[in-house]
Amino acid sequence: MTGTSSGLGKELAYIHARRGGSLILVARRQDLLEALARELQDTYGTTVYIISKDLSKETAPEEIYAEVQAKGLQVDYLINNAGLGGQGAFAERSMEIDMNLIAVNIISLTKMTKLFLPDFLKRKSGRILNVSSTAALMPGPLQAVYYASKAYVTSLSNAIWQEIQGSGVTMTLLMPGGMDTGFAAASGLQNTSLAKQMVFSPREIAEPTYAAMLRGQMELIEKLNFIQKLSFKLLPFLPKKLIMKQIYNMQQST
């Protein structure tokens, strides 16, 4: 499970531990991983392994997979939750920032899935959960690379879902709506109208997400407020230029 030091990943870890499952927690911050591992072990008596890796680094997924294999661990559920965002005009954001975003949101997720999926298929069992976003459904001016990265995750996950039908392995895609995880502040969006729609707690989204993964549900759009529900229903009928203008305005600081 990647991106477990906070937010949705942390809540999914709680749910899995509460059900008696062992965990391999992956995130950048060693101290946060150790604190969460102690809490889960003390509270639920479950076994927790931690792997501190920066998924923006090219070889991180291979190193994670190698460490899991070296420990002789069998992974039954792969949860690709780690992700980066960030506000700003495409031409003004630094090359390093956007390449790190692509490395985490696209490359590491693809590699992790490609590394573990063959093992699942050989065993004819296993569940994969990839975390995308409702941002995948439209272009995102002022978060152009982030929105595009989530469109990739959505397309990839849906395609794999079809490819593995009947194999005993499942692929579930989560597209959360307005989730308050600290993402807005980390992405420089805290003073935008978009941030005001991020009102649902990670716990509210984690519970139905975990259940959908267990069912092998193809995708889940979870926790939209009234305005978001209305917007997504109208999305196929609205001119793309109008949609992009609205998103652009929502992501500007007020």
The rounded distance, in Å, linking the Cα atoms of 44 and 81 is 22
The pLDDT of residue 104 is above 70: yes
What predicted TM-score, i.e. pTM, was given to this entire model? 0.89
- Do the beta carbons of residue 9 and residue 32 sit within 8 Å? no
Q: What does the alpha-carbon distance between residue 195 and residue 114 come to, in Å, rounded to a whole number?
A: 34
188 band by pLDDT with thresholds 50, 70 and 90: low
Strand pairing category for 169-176 and 126-131: parallel
196 pLDDT higher than 60: no
Active-site residue flag, 77: no
Instruction: Read off the pLDDT of each residue in 76-88 and give the average, rounded to a whole number.
Output: 96
- Degrees (nearest 5) of the Cα angle 67, 49, 149? 70
Residue 197 clears pLDDT 60, i.e. is over it? no
Which pLDDT score, from 0 to 100, does residue 73 have? Answer: 97
Nearest C-alpha neighbor of 1 from the set 23, 28, 33: 23
The tokens 């469109």 sit on which residue?
151
Reported as type and span, the H/E element at residue 231 is helix 226-234
Residue 225: the pLDDT is: 73
Cα–Cα distance for residue pair 90/98, rounded to 1 Å? 9
Residue type, 43: T
pLDDT at 189: 58
Lowest mean pLDDT among 203-207, 212-216, 226-230: 226-230
Q: Is the pLDDT of residue 249 over 80?
A: yes
Is the pLDDT assigned to residue 156 strictly greater than 90? Answer: yes
From CA 84, how far away is CA 237, in angstroms rounded? 30
Give the pLDDT band of residue 200 (cuts 50, 70, 90).
confident
Q: Could you say which DSSP state residue 104 is in? A: I
Would the pLDDT of 167 be above 90? yes
CA distance 47 to 186: 31
Rg (CA), the chain: 18
Residue 139 in tokens? 């272009």
Phi, psi of 9 (to 5 degrees): -60, -40
Q: What letter would DSSP give residue 220? A: E
Marked catalytic residue, from 77, 146, 147, 210? 146
3-state secondary structure of 63: helix
What pLDDT was estimated at residue 191? 56
Degrees, nearest 5: CA angle 94-133-2: 75
Beta strands in the chain (DSSP E): 23-27, 48-52, 77-80, 126-131, 169-176, 219-222
